[in-house]
Amino acid sequence: MFVEENAALIFIGFYFLANFCGDKFNQPILKIVAHWLRWLSFALCFSHLLVFFEWSSRPDWVHFITGIALWFVAETVFYRISIQLFNLSEIQLFPKYQTDTSDNLWPISREADSVKETLTKQKFKKIEVIKADLLPDLKIRQALFLDEERTIRVDILFVPNTQKEVTCFFSLLSLSDTNDCLITDNQNMPFGGFYPKNWSVTRHPIQRSLSKLLELHREKMRKKNLNWSSQEEKFLTKVNANQRLLERENQAMGFLVDPEHQRNQKQGRKGKISSEGCIRICIEMWLLSYFGKTLKL
């Protein structure tokens, strides 16, 4: 029991350290490590308490496995409640964007300076700034950039967190002359939905470097061996068209509830996401939290 108690204290200490460093330096890999340490710490503490208060005389490994199972159930319930609250909220899954005229765009941080330096070195030009109002006091903003050949569009997403701090995410997009769409991003927000068949989407939630993400995207462009089209103007129109395309695709695949079908039902279920869609989001939340991965489509 002494060894078990010390192990629990060590795991708790490492958890707080990894969690602090993950927040401080914005490193998703440290947050993943912190999640595993928290899970193991709970299982060890649970096992220790059972022995200390003499609530069970079973072997320690049984207590430990039971603690792991209890945490799995508790966190799954927490995820499902979070998803249901989002499902019943007024937040749109695919909001409509509009032109953003505000000058206060970039957060003051070392990461933002690094992103701007990468864009300048690789000769990306800002073409537009757009925003979507999720709630009256919650906005997602995007700055759109094009490279010299106009074959790669970089969307910088500025997403505020609960502490009113802004985190930058990147989405890279290229279009072929056969209407194939290649997207590479590093968003760590669970989606769980579906993409159109002509979209090839790869997510790298752990990758925080824009330059590395550009390397991965250009490598995929070479492997596709397609003729990549020059992207022209009307980017706001195209962004909103893609939002509507995603919405229709996910309604057709059963991820979203069809509003017309829901209105025709006398006692239709509330919420914009179907039961199957909620399960997919829950699975993706687990994958992102503990493996830094998303669902394979």
Residue 150 lies in a domain: yes
Q: What's the total number of domains in the chain?
A: 2
173 and 249 housed in the same domain: yes
Please state, as a whole number, how many other Cβ atoms lie within 10 Å of the Cβ of residue 19. Answer: 17
Interval 196-206 mean pLDDT:
96
78 and 104 housed in the same domain: no
166: its two tokens? 């802004």
231 and 112 housed in the same domain: yes
137 and 42 housed in the same domain: no
45 and 113 housed in the same domain: no
Residue 136 lies in a domain: yes
Determine which of 91-95, 118-122, 276-280 has the lowest per-residue pLDDT on average. Answer: 91-95
Residue 264 lies in a domain: no
161 and 209 housed in the same domain: yes
Residue 187 lies in a domain: yes
240 and 102 housed in the same domain: yes
237 and 133 housed in the same domain: yes
Residue 200 lies in a domain: yes
Q: Which of 88, 110, 133 is the last residue of a domain?
A: 88
Q: In terms of Cα–Cα distance, which of 188, 180, 120, 200 is closest to 154?
A: 120
176 and 30 housed in the same domain: no
161 and 25 housed in the same domain: no
Residue 207 lies in a domain: yes
Q: Which of 57, 88, 119 is the last residue of a domain?
A: 88
15 and 61 housed in the same domain: yes
pTM assigned to the model: 0.91
Q: Could you give the CA distance from residue 257 to residue 134 in angstroms, rounded to a whole number?
A: 19
pLDDT tens per residue, range 25-57: 888 999 999 999 999 999 999 998 998 888 988
Quote the domain boundaries for residue 54.
2-88
Q: Could you give the CA distance from residue 72 to residue 47 in angstroms, rounded to a whole number?
A: 15
Question: What angle do helix axes 110-121 and 210-224 make, rounded to 10 degrees?
Answer: 40
Residue 45's contacts (CB-CB under 8 Å, 6 or more residues apart) are 8, 12, 67
Residue 265 has pLDDT above 70, yes or no: no
CA distances from 140 to 72, 125, 210, 294, 297 (A): 32, 21, 19, 22, 26
127 and 252 housed in the same domain: yes
Q: What is the pLDDT of residue 38?
A: 96
Q: What is the pLDDT of residue 2?
A: 43
Q: Which of 62, 88, 114 is the last residue of a domain?
A: 88
Residue 74's contacts (CB-CB under 8 Å, 6 or more residues apart) are none
Residue 283's contacts (CB-CB under 8 Å, 6 or more residues apart) are 192, 295
pLDDT tens per residue, range 67-83: 999 999 999 999 999 99
Residue 285 lies in a domain: no
% of the chain with per-residue pLDDT over 70: 94
Please state, as a whole number, how many other Cβ atoms lie within 10 Å of the Cβ of residue 93. Answer: 18
Residue 268 lies in a domain: no
pLDDT tens per residue, range 132-168: 998 888 889 999 999 999 999 999 999 887 677 888 9
